[in-house]
Structure 1
Amino acid sequence: MAPQRTPDSHRRSERSRRAIYDAALALVGEVGYGRTTIEGIAARAGVGKQTIYRWWPSKAAVLMEAFLDMAARQAAEAAGDGDAHGFPDTGDLAADLKTVLRATVDELNDPASQAPTRALTAEAVMDPALAAQFVERLLEPQMRLYVTRLRAAQEAGELRADVDPRTAVELLVAPLTHRWLLRTLPLTHAYADAVVDHALRGMSARP
């Protein structure tokens, strides 16, 4: 008789967690944040709702973690080498910023993530607690990467010393978000490149 193989509980847990992430993102994209429920997520993922409550305290916690996981996977794919936490520093600030903003355009235009991203963005406008989580866990870590790169450019003499890096980040990112939210004009790589060119024209160190 062949020996029985011990079930891999870690692998089973990861499969369940991935199914819950996928279910949560799909539901919030289809029916909105308000109508998404723990029961609905559990049913779609094929798990008991007690499994979800064992890992997360609330619907908001499930969706936030699913959203962060999605963002990390997209960033890893865009990076090409699997490093989702770096920021390119080739010595050419304009090229580095264009690389990152083009990847942002691709993420915002991705059909798989666009609906849940819009749903969570809309809910965050109405829910200060969710907005605080969104900023703390997703936006601020990304903004710090920009700030670090811009400070390095200041030290290298590429940017004026009086430029505030945190404000500069908003000059680069906000136009993309604005165009994506309104959907009145296409969000393209060419637009991202133009944003970088215009921003750097005002921030670059003068000879």
Structure 2
Amino acid sequence: MSETRSPDSKRRSERSRRAILDAALELVGELGYPRLTIEAIAGRAGVGKQTIYRWWPSKAAVLLDAFIALGEEAAAGEHEIPNTGDLEADLKFVLRATVDELNSPEYELPARALAAEGVINAELGAEFVAKLLEPQLQLYVKRLLAAQDAGQVAEHIDPRVALELIVAPLAHRWLLRTLPLTHEYADTVVEYALRGLSPR
């Protein structure tokens, strides 16, 4: 007599969750954030609205989790800034990759939506920083500390402040959209920053 197995609820829930996150990313690209709705996400994902509200309180929360998942997939296995012994080359490599990411429509549209929402929604903004930005910034801290140990960065430099000299110009130019964000610009930012960080 064959054994009847009940459906795996965990697997079904994960499929639904993945479909919801994918739908949120697709729709924010197609509709823009202001026109994105829970109803639209549910329809695209093939789930009921209550399924979404059971896991997330708002469309912003759905999009944040979708964006975090997107970042994790893009960085699969890459959880360190390279340390080849050449700090300038390593930082240029990472900033060029960051430029490519910021210029990618897949990344740019949800990132801009979350950045804007985070300005008016303090709770979401704090979550965005804690879950996504700060872990990435700590990779710079670790690499700069290694450079200090190697004598490539002055001992008195605070790595948490120093990294802002490197990453903030890119974020500023990306947010304003007044000038192009290029590999050449990223290289220049690294060169200028390291002049100030290097031991005298």
Q: TM-score, normalised by structure 2?
A: 0.89
Task: Note the aligned Cα RMSD (angstroms).
Answer: 2.1
Question: 2:29·2:106 contact (CA, 8 Å) conserved in 1?
Answer: no
Question: Equivalent residue for 1:46?
Answer: 46
User: Are 1:92 and 2:86 matched, yes or no?
Assistant: yes
Residue 65 (1) aligns with residue 65 (2): yes
Letter of the 1:108 partner, please give it: L
- What's the offset of the Cα at 1:172? 0.5
What letter is aligned with 1:127? N
Match of 2:143 in 1: 149
After TM superposition, the structure 1 stretch with the greater mean CA deviation from structure 2, 111-120 or 56-65, is 56-65
Q: Which residue pairs with 2:106 in the alignment?
A: 112
Q: Deviations over 1:135-189 (max 9, x none)?
A: 1111111111110110111111100111111111111011111111111221111
For residue 108 of structure 1, report the CA deviation from its aligned partner. 0.5
Give the equivalent residue in structure 2 for 1:158: 152
Matched letter for residue 84 of structure 1: E
Contact 1:38 1:59 in 2 (8 A): yes
Partners of 1:26 and 1:197 in 2: how far apart?
37
* SS of residue in 2 equivalent to 1:158: coil
Residue from 172, 177, 189 that aligns with 2:183: 189
**Displacement of 1:7 after TM fit?**
5.3
CA contact (8 A) 2:92 2:186 kept: yes
Match of 1:124 among 110, 118, 127: 118
How far 1:56 sits from its partner (Å)? 2.9
**Greater Cα shift, 57-66 or 86-95:** 57-66
Distance 2:105 2:32 in 1: 16
For the Cα contact (< 8 Å) 1:26–1:116, is it kept in 2?
no
Mapped to 2, the partners of 1:195 and 1:97 lie a distance apart of 10
Unaligned runs of 5+ in 1: 77-82
| Percent identity between the two aligned chains | 67
The structural deviation recorded for 1:27 is: 2.6
2:129 is aligned to 135
Structure 2 gaps, min length 5:
none
Distance 1:34 1:136 in 2: 24
Measure, in 2, the Cα distance between the counterparts of 1:43 and 1:59.
Answer: 13
After superposition, the C-alpha distances for 1:33-67 in whole angstroms (9 at most, x for unaligned) are: 44422222111111122322333343332211101
Quickly say closer, same or farther: Cα 1:186–1:123, change in 2 above 3 A. Answer: same
Aligned-partner residue type, residue 38 of structure 2: I
The answer as to whether partners of 1:108 and 1:114 remain within 8 angstroms in 2 is yes
User: Is the 8 Å Cα contact of residues 20 and 42 (structure 1) preserved in structure 2?
Assistant: yes
